[in-house]
Amino acid sequence: MPRFAANLTLLFTEMPFMERFAAAKSAGFDAVEYLFPYAYDKDALAQVLKTQGLVQVLHNLPAGDWDAGDRGIACDPDRRDEFRSGVSKAIEYATVLNCPQVNCLAGKLPQGVSHSAAHATLVENLTYAAAQLKAANLRLLIEPINHFDIPGFFLTTTAQAAKILDEVGSDNLYIQYDIYHAQRMEGELGSTLEKMLSRIGHIQLADNPGRNEPGTGEINYAWLFKHIDAIGYTGWIGCEYKPKTSTQQGLGWRTALTQ
């Protein structure tokens, strides 16, 4: 049976962030992930993880000014220094939180920057980040995101991500495979997961349309969960979805779809 991690950015949002850890544990989760830890004291986060007996499996590199519309800065040639500073900050947090991997959001193609320049910048930044994280015994992930939800996002397909992995050539750089984004961009979920398994460091889920919990849309999660087990994926699956009602009311899918 797959192991599920609660994404505290999207789940249990009816309560303050620091209270969501206890809510996740009470709901039966043993692991958590979330977008960014940087607004909170890292020692306070480590303490709440310890108190609740939770494992943190993922957070993102700093991604610019989220409220202003940034969705990552890794492909922006003018923000290399900001990116490198963010790598150092992410390592500090991940080390204290015992979080084994950090995701890099490529960002949207900057206005006036060519695709080739953005690609070269992304590869350069990932090469730097992978080396820094490897020295700290951490893994780096990159995540394809659909261009319907985030128009202009630079990294949109699994194939594009795989080519970037080849170009960077680091043994601690992996793909974060988000089932929802992959369904919107390319489909072929089962075969892609099997084909790319050795290159996938983390999986996330949501159904489509709506990005709600599994069982609310078109994806056959009952089959997909069995397939993920069958191909030998042993990592966590992050539950990065928007509950249709409340988080607690929508958690029945974990039993209904994993029998």
Tokens of 117: 């320049």
Tokens of 229: 């087990």
**Does the pLDDT at position 160 exceed 90?**
yes
Segment 12-61, tens digit of pLDDT: 999 999 999 999 999 999 999 999 999 999 999 999 999 999 999 999 99
Segment 200-233, tens digit of pLDDT: 999 999 999 999 999 999 999 999 999 999 999 9
What is the CA 61 to chain-centroid distance, rounded? 10
CA dist., res. 81 & res. 120, Å (int): 15
Confidence (pLDDT) at 1: 84
Confidence (pLDDT) at 89: 98
For 191-198, the CB contacts below 8 A with 24+ separation are 192/158, 193/227, 193/228, 193/231, 193/233, 194/227, 194/231, 196/158, 196/162, 197/231, 197/232, 197/233
Instruction: For the chain, give every domain's residue range.
Output: 3-256
- What is the Cβ-side half-sphere exposure of residue 42, based on CA atoms within 13 angstroms? 13
Verdict on whether the full-model pTM lies above 0.85? yes
Q: Is domain 3-256 in CATH 3.20.20.150, yes or no? A: yes
Segment 105-151, tens digit of pLDDT: 999 999 999 999 999 999 999 999 999 999 999 999 999 999 999 99
pLDDT class for 184, splitting at 50, 70, 90? very high
Residues near 59 by Cβ (< 8 Å), separated by ≥ 6? 33, 34, 35, 36, 37, 90, 93, 94, 97, 99, 102, 103
Residues with a catalytic annotation lie at 143, 240
Residues near 146 by Cβ (< 8 Å), separated by ≥ 6? 153, 156, 180, 181, 184, 185
